[in-house]
């Protein structure tokens, strides 16, 4: 079966750095997405990785290793507004998105 | 401003009733999707449509129905046959379906509670 694993919840301190991991086992691979979702709101797109390596976008970076079935989202200089759930999703060989359950990130002052 | 509008935001239903959730987009996107979100689970695809007048079942289509008569609109009906309909429903769209960098734009969601 297809599977996406993420930690359920993480806690970090304002101003610090946090890394949210995502491992996957899917039928084929056509890219990995990260979305941010504040409670009760719509998910919003953060990043897309299809090749191995690090993609940097401001305070957020996303890394992919296809051979290991592994990605992480790195958030730097954490702000209180970064408190949200972070969803990892993989596009399989049929171009269908397989979603992880999301990681709830709690930022403390 | 372009975006996706879902309505209603909150909906209560008695058992045995059908309800329809509205989803309208003005992004000129070809593909539209309905997902269900439950606590502790990933998003699950109910139905999707890549062009007008055509749609396909997702992983959990039983008890749901859709239509795509206009490019802008993709309403979802939750029928009385859906055994556990209480959930948060998300509508999404993308420029096209079936491609790699297929970024989804989501609506704000509709929370359905069955009493």
pLDDT of residue A101: 96
- The per-residue pLDDT string of chain B (115 residues; one tens digit each, 9 = 90 and over) reads 679 999 999 999 998 899 999 999 999 999 999 999 998 899 999 999 999 999 999 999 999 999 999 999 999 999 988 889 999 999 999 998 766 678 999 999 999 999 8
Q: Does A4 touch chain B (CB under 8 A)?
A: yes
pLDDT score recorded for residue B15? 87
With a CB cutoff of 8 Å and minimum separation 6, the contacts of A96 are B45
Which pLDDT score, from 0 to 100, does residue B2 have?
75
Q: Tell me which chain A residues have a C-beta less than 8 angstroms from the C-beta of B100.
A: 30-31, 50, 91, 95
Q: What is the pLDDT of residue A69?
A: 97
Q: To the nearest whole number, what is the mean pLDDT of chain A?
A: 96
What's the pLDDT score for residue A68?
A: 97
**Alpha-carbon dihedral sign for residues B106, A93, A102, A12:** negative
Q: Is A87 on the interface with B (CB under 8 A)?
A: yes
- For A12-63, write each residue's pLDDT tens digit: 999 999 999 999 999 999 999 999 999 989 999 999 999 999 999 999 999 9
Q: What are the angstrom distances between the C-alpha of B53 and each of A103, B72, B113?
A: 36, 12, 29
For position B100, what pLDDT does the model report? Answer: 67
Query: A23: which chain B residues are within 8 Å (Cβ-Cβ)?
Result: none
Q: Is a pLDDT exceeding 90 seen at residue A67? A: yes
Which residue in the set A30, A43, A100 is minimally distant from B106, CB to CB?
A: A43
Q: A 56-85 residues with CB below 8 A of B?
A: none
Pick the more confident residue, A74 or A2: A74
pLDDT value at residue B102: 83
d(CA B72, CA A24): 34
Structure tokens at A23: 């491992």
Q: Does A32 touch chain B (CB under 8 A)?
A: no
């Amino acid at each position: 079966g297809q599977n996406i694993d993420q930690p359920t919840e993480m806690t970090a301190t304002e101003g610090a750095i946090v890394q949210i991991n995502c491992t996957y086992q899917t039928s084929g691979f056509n890219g990995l997405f990260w979305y941010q979702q504040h409670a009760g709101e719509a998910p919003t797109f953060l990043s897309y990785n299809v090749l191995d390596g690090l993609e940097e976008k401001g305070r957020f970076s996303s890394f992919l290793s296809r051979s290991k079935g592994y990605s992480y989202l790195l958030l730097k200089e954490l702000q209180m507004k970064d408190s949200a759930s972070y969803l990892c999703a993989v596009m399989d060989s049929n171009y269908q998105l397989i979603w992880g359950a999301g990681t709830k990130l709690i930022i403390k002052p | 401003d372009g975006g996706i509008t879902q309505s209603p935001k909150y909906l209560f239903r008695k058992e045995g009733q059908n309800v329809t959730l509205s989803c309208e987009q003005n992004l000129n996107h070809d593909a539209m999707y309905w997902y269900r979100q439950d606590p502790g689970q990933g998003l699950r695809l109910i139905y999707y449509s890549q062009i007008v007048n055509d749609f396909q079942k997702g992983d959990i289509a039983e008890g749901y129905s859709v239509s795509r008569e206009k490019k802008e609109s993709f309403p979802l009906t939750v029928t009385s046959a859906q055994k556990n309909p209480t959930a948060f429903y998300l509508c999404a769209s993308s420029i096209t379906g079936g491609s790699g960098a297929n970024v989804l734009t989501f609506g704000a969601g509709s929370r359905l509670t069955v009493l």
